[in-house]
Chains A and B, each alone.
Chain A
Amino acid sequence: DIQMTQSPSTLSASVGDRVTITCRASQTISAWLAWYQQKAGKAPKLLIYEASTLESAVPTRFSGSGSGTEFTLTISSLQPDDFATYYCQQYVNYPWTFGHGTKVEIK
């Protein structure tokens, strides 16, 4: 299985901060990577696919980059609605695997 490692596991930030989350794959996955946002008690929500393509209706303060084994999710200016847990997922190989999540908390 491809292992997906996210860092940090928890991130404390303030409204307006620029936030970056990293996801590393244990082998190359080209750009077959998605990012999801999950709020407590809710299903995940797709933010980005193919490493950098913004899903429809997702605010443009979210962006993704990377290819191969290293990827980043950036929130350019953190908003109150963005405090949540973020997961990356590779979908180049079965089984599709997720990172363990990065919780973005209020500082």
Chain B
Amino acid sequence: QVQLQESGPGLVKPSETLSLTCTVSGGSTNSYYWSWIRQPPGKGLEWIGYIYYSGSTNYNPSLKSRVTISLDTSKSQFSLKLTSVTAADTAVYYCARAHNTGWFVDSWGQGTLVTVSS
């Protein structure tokens, strides 16, 4: 069974870049849509974007100018970069796998809290 694990700094200063990596184990990164989803404290879920195993990406228009998602199949990892962060970007960030035949999320990482504060 595939497992996903987020890693990266838990504290980022305003205006800096948030960088997270997701390591995939128990399965290949070939196929599927590798995604990032976030959840501000006490709030709902927001899809950030995905990278398909082919390398194509799609981002939420609300974040598109600041987001880059990349994939390293040799390491079974995919990454998120979010630039020019503000306090509004404070959230639990989940990496996730969206299914090939329909873009529902069938596997989630445990989530990592990233706080934006000076």
Chain A contacts to B: CB under 8 angstroms? 1, 32, 34, 36, 42-46, 49-50, 55, 87, 89, 91, 94-101
Contacts and interface: CB of A to CB of B under 8 A. Distances in A.
14 contacts: A34-B104, A36-B105, A43-B111, A44-B108, A49-B106, A50-B102, A55-B106, A89-B45, A89-B105, A95-B60, A98-B44, A98-B46, A98-B47, A99-B44
Interface of B: 44-47, 58, 60-62, 94, 98-99, 102-106, 108-111
A64 to B, nearest CB: 12
Nearest to B46: A98
A34 B47 contact: no
A89 B94 contact: no
Contact of A96 (B47, B108, B110, B111): B47
Q: Is the interface of A mostly helix, strand, loop or mixed?
A: loop
Contacts of B109: 43
A99 B98 CA distance: 17
